[in-house]
Amino acid sequence: MDTGRDPNRVVIFDTTMRDGEQSPGASMNLEEKKRIAAVLEEMGVDVIEAGFPIASNGDFEAVREIAKLVKTSSVAGLSRAAKKDIDRAWEALQGAAAPRIHTFISTSPLHMKFKLQMEPEAVHQAIIDSVSYARKLCGDVEWSAEDASRTEHDFLCRCVETAIKCGAGTINIPDTVGYAVPDEFASLIRMLFDRVPNIDKAIISVHCHNDLGLAVANSLAAVGAGARQVECTVNGLGERAGNAALEEIVMALRTRQNAMPYKTGIHTEVITRASRLVSTVTGFPVQPNKAIVGANAFAHESGIHQDGMLKHAGTYEIMTPESVGLSRSTLVMGKHSGRHAFKSKLKELGFELGDNAVEEAFRRFKDLADKKKDVFDEDIVALVDDQVVRS
Ligand code: KIV
Ligand code: ZN
């Protein structure tokens, strides 16, 4: 292990273009992937998983082009535990400044018996063969124990120990089916640190799916237990219910430093742009109440909240909109808005009305807001203009 490494630095591994693309209907073409890769690099993502080169010629091409394009992030290509997969991944990664081969095999009883139809000994041998082979080609190899959270502990320890011995510098512990809960997942990571010899030679990574809505919570619990790489996707895109959302992991670590003293290398101001790009390219809209990047994440409608915000933004915001690349918070004008916010909106729209006129306009605004879900700036302008003409 690099002993110069900051022990509290969390590596951000983005898999938007690999696991994210496995969202049914979320496919991206080469040009779109190149644009996403450029934004991820600008954002300071440490490792960009660009695809699964053996899966299709399109994936191969995407990994190859992104490997040539990206200069400051590592670029990873996924492969199963098979020489032909590893060769294809390595071929695609040839132009990369910092290539990583990411090879995986399932280790849970269910997956070994029904999916792989392999005995545990054969899986163990496949780990030796695949990691050693990948390591001969590439200095940076990551090994994943697919379905690790449902793997028998003795076997998981043995496989992790073997992968480290064979040269894997990153060991990924996926919660492939989003089955884990935070305390249990943290215990699993601690168990590995307690039992696997030489575990400090590798970085322990986690890769959590969101089937129970716990992907981010499980990832953060694992970081608390010693994991130092988190695999995630922009907007939480990914197979089934998705993966841990990059923006949520990064902003939780940034905002709650006192509770979680870890840091990432992410330039958080690029988050909103990355989110919008991924949403546009995939056609997957971001739900309005989505943490960090939803349209309502920095919007306030209640009169009490708007009044508080106008006095001090800290009353109802735990992070600034600027920190994620938005220019400002929004006070949404609706039936819950109060006088304070309304007056501030009038000022913003360029109106300077006397007290009586403001009262009259506020009364008419409230009548309108009762009938109309959203009251836009144009509605308020029309309402005041009409009032001025009538008076
Ligand atoms: O969810 C999973 O286990 C994966 C592996 C291939 C890392 O995506
Ligand atoms: Zn996955």
Q: Which of 58, 10, 9 is nearest to 34 (CA)?
A: 58
How confident is the model over 301-359, as pLDDT tens digits?
Answer: 999 999 999 999 999 999 999 999 998 999 999 999 999 999 999 999 999 999 999 99
Q: The whole model's pTM is what? A: 0.95
How confident is the model over 71-117, as pLDDT tens digits?
Answer: 999 999 999 999 999 999 999 999 999 999 999 999 999 999 999 99
**Is 8 assigned a ligand-binding role in the annotation?**
no
Residue nearest to atom 7 of ligand 1 (CA): 144
The residues, ordered by sequence, that sit 6+ positions from 352 with a Cβ below 8 Å of its Cβ are: 346
Secondary structure, 3-state, the chain: CCCCCCCCECEEEECCCCCHHHCCCCCCCHHHHHHHHHHHHHHCCCEEEEECCCCCHHHHHHHHHHHHHCCCCEEEEEEECCHHHHHHHHHHCCCCCCEEEEEEEECCHHHHHHHHCCCHHHHHHHHHHHHHHHHHHCCCEEEEEECHHHCCHHHHHHHHHHHHHCCCCEEEEEECCCCCCHHHHHHHHHHHHHHCCCHHHCEEEEEEECCCCCHHHHHHHHHHCCCCEEEEEHHHCCCCCCECEHHHHHHHHHHCCCCCCCECCCCHHHHHHHHHHHHHHHCCCCCCCCCCCCCCCCEECCHHHHHHHHHCHHHCCCCCHHHHCCCCCEECCCCCCCHHHHHHHHHHCCCCCCHHHHHHHHHHHHHHHHHCCCCCHHHHHHHHHHHHHHC
How confident is the model over 133-163, as pLDDT tens digits?
Answer: 999 999 999 999 999 999 999 999 999 999 9
Residue 144, ligand 1, Cβ within 6 A: yes
Give residue 228's pLDDT: 98
Across 231-240, average pLDDT: 98
The reply to whether ipTM tops 0.90 is yes
103 CA to middle of ligand 1, Å? 10
| Percentage above 90 pLDDT, the chain | 94
Across 9-32, average pLDDT: 95
10 Å CB burial of residue 224 (0-12, 13-18, 19+) is middle
How confident is the model over 366-389, as pLDDT tens digits?
Answer: 999 999 888 999 999 999 998 877
Residue 325, ligand 1, Cβ within 6 A: no
From the CA of 23, the nearest ligand is 2
147 CA to middle of ligand 1, Å? 8
Give the span between the Cα atoms of 366 and 351, in whole angstroms: 18
Residue 99, ligand 1, Cβ within 6 A: no
pLDDT at 234 over 90: yes
